[in-house]
Structure 1
Amino acid sequence: MTTTITVTGMTCGHCENAVRSEISALPGVTDVAVDLATGAVTITSDTDLDQAALREAVDEAGYAIA
């Protein structure tokens, strides 16, 4: 399954890595691609993502889902 979200507040490579790291730790996630310029984060997973857990992971990284 592929899910695309928009994350606000990312401004640099460190931001990108923080978001990728937190989302990658979620159960079932197999790949995370971050487009810093647009804020688009594409997540590939084996199962449906828990939206609350996804929001919490982005929040833990210090950012927000638009």
Structure 2
Amino acid sequence: MNQLFTVQGMTCGHCEKAVTTAIKTLDPQAEVRIDRSQNLVEVQTEQPRDAVAAAISEEGYTVAA
């Protein structure tokens, strides 16, 4: 299932890697695409949306509702 998140606080490549790693820890098969200029994270996963949002938040980023 395709999920789209607006994520605040991603400012560099390290931020992108941290978000990607957090999601892939939750679901190693997930496909992650990040558009930092638009603050968007697109995730292809079967994990629940709230679990993915929590994984991103745990890295210190704000996931918009």
Q: The TM-score by the shorter chain falls in which range?
A: 0.7 to 0.9
CA RMSD of superposed structures (Å):
1.6
Structure 1 residue 26: Cα displacement: 1.6
SS of the counterpart of 2:37? coil
Structure 1 residue 23: Cα displacement: 1.0
Q: Which residue matches 2:2?
A: 2
Q: What TM-score results when the alignment is normalised by the length of structure 1?
A: 0.82
Q: Which residue matches 2:41?
A: 41
More helix by share: 2
% same residue: 38
More strand by share: 1
Matches within 5 A, 1:1-66: 1-27=1-27, 29-45=29-45, 47=46, 49-66=47-64
SS of the counterpart of 2:27? coil
Unmatched 5+ stretches in structure 1: none
**Alpha-carbon spacing, 1:60–1:40, altered in 2? closer, same or farther (3 Å):** same
Structure 1 residue 61: Cα displacement: 1.3
Is residue 29–residue 43 contact of structure 1 (8 Å, CA) maintained in 2?
no
Structure 1 residue 39: Cα displacement: 0.9
Which one-letter code corresponds to 1:59 in the other structure?
Answer: S
Q: Give runs of ≥4 in structure 1 deviating > 3 Å.
A: none
Give distance in 1, aligned partners of 2:38 and 2:28: 25
